[in-house]
Amino acid sequence: MLLSIPAKYAVSQVVGFVKGKSAIHIARGSYGRRQNFTGQHFWARGYYVSTAGKDEAVVRTDIQNQQKEDGRLDQLNLFSD
């Protein structure tokens, strides 16, 4: 996942927001739950962050190529069974 975060926001706040909202969305969509994960944990406690800086275009290209490769492997797996 590649995020561009303005300097006025703390990285920990943005990651906490993304993890929290995505956990609620997945719980409601996949598990059919109407209430949140009260007292439960969906994501791991930690996270890894790195800066891309001037190399953002390279990272973005790598992510797009990774998606294409994953799709290609998924196609191959259809025929392996």
| pLDDT one-digit tens code per residue, 11-57 | 999 988 998 888 888 877 776 666 655 666 777 788 888 777 778 88
- Tell me, what DSSP letter sits at residue 79? H
**Is the pLDDT score of 8 beyond 90?**
yes
- Cα–Cα distance measured from residue 15 to residue 70, given in angstroms and rounded to the nearest whole number: 25
